[in-house]
Amino acid sequence: MKKNFVIAFAAAALVALVVFSATAPAQTASPPKAGKDVPRAADGHPDMTGVWQGGSNRIGTWEDTNDGEGPLGQSGPITPFAVTTPQPKPPYQEWAAKKVLESYKMRGIDEPMVRCLPPGVPRTTLMGLFPMQIVQTPKTIVMLFEVFHLFRIIPIDAKHPDDLEPSYMGDSVGHWEGDTLVVDVTGFNDKTWLSGVGTFHSEKLHVVEKFTRVDLNTIAYEDTVEDPDVLTGPWTRHGTIMLRPGTRIREYECVENNQDMKEYEEMMKNPSVFQRK
Amino acid sequence: MKLRLFAILLASIGLLLGTSVPARAHHSFGVEYDVNKPVTLTGVITKIEWTNPHSFVFIDIKDASGKVTNWRFEGYPPTVLYRTGWKRDVTMKAGDEITVYGWQSRVGGPWGHARQITFADGKKLYFGPGPGTGDGGASLPVAVPPSN
**ipTM of the prediction:** 0.84
d(Cα A74, Cα A40) in Å, to the nearest integer? 29
Does any CB of chain A come closer than 8 Å to the CB of residue B79?
yes
Give residue A262's pLDDT.
86
Give residue B23's pLDDT.
61
Q: Which of B87, B95, B31, B23 is nearest to B55 (CA)?
A: B87
Identify all chain A residues contacting B9, using CB atoms and an 8 Å cutoff.
8, 11-12, 15
Cα nearest neighbour of B51 on chain A:
A257
Sequential DSSP letters for B40-70: EEEEEEEEEE--SS-EEEEEEEE-TTS-EEE
Residue in A107, A129, A255 closest to B24 by CB: A129
Does any CB of chain B come closer than 8 Å to the CB of residue A252?
yes
| Residue count (chain B) | 148
Give residue B28's pLDDT.
79
Does the pLDDT at position B86 exceed 90? Answer: yes
Residue in A70, A90, A258 closest to B130 by CB: A70
Does any CB of chain A come closer than 8 Å to the CB of residue B56?
yes
CA distance A228 to chain B (A): 15
Does any CB of chain A come closer than 8 Å to the CB of residue B87?
no
Does any CB of chain B come closer than 8 Å to the CB of residue A155?
no
Give residue A13's pLDDT.
39
Does any CB of chain A come closer than 8 Å to the CB of residue B13?
yes
d(Cα B59, Cα B94) in Å, to the nearest integer? 9
Does any CB of chain B come closer than 8 Å to the CB of residue A89?
yes
Mutate which: B9, B35, B37, B81, vs A, most A CBs within 10 A: B9
Does the pLDDT at position B101 exceed 90? Answer: yes
The CATH code belonging to domain B2-126 is 2.40.50.140
Instruction: Write down the pTM of the prediction.
Output: 0.86
Q: What mean pLDDT is reported for chain B?
A: 82
d(Cα B91, Cα A124) in Å, to the nearest integer? 31
CA distance B72 to chain A (A): 12
Cα nearest neighbour of A83 on chain B:
B20
Does the pLDDT at position B36 exceed 50? Answer: yes
Give residue B136's pLDDT.
60
d(Cα A239, Cα A109) in Å, to the nearest integer? 26
Does the pLDDT at position B120 exceed 90? Answer: yes
Amino acid at A2: K
Give residue A73's pLDDT.
75
pLDDT, one tens digit for every residue, chain A (277 residues): 344 433 443 443 333 333 333 344 444 457 789 999 999 999 999 999 999 999 999 999 999 998 877 656 788 999 999 998 988 999 999 999 999 999 999 998 999 999 999 999 999 999 889 999 999 999 999 999 999 999 999 999 999 999 999 999 999 999 999 999 999 999 999 999 999 899 999 999 999 999 999 999 999 999 999 999 999 999 999 999 999 999 999 999 999 999 988 888 888 999 999 998 8
CA distance B69 to chain A (A): 20
Which of the given ranges, A10-24, A262-276, B70-84, B124-138, has the highest pLDDT on average? B70-84
Cα dihedral A58, A124, A182, A38, rounded to 10, equals 30
Query: A29: exposed, middle or buried (C-beta count within 10 Å: 0-12, 13-18, 19+)?
Result: exposed
Identify all chain B residues contacting A132, using CB atoms and an 8 Å cutoff.
none
Q: Where are the domains of chain B?
A: 2-126
Residue A5 CB contacts under 8 Å (≥ 6 apart), including other chains:
B8
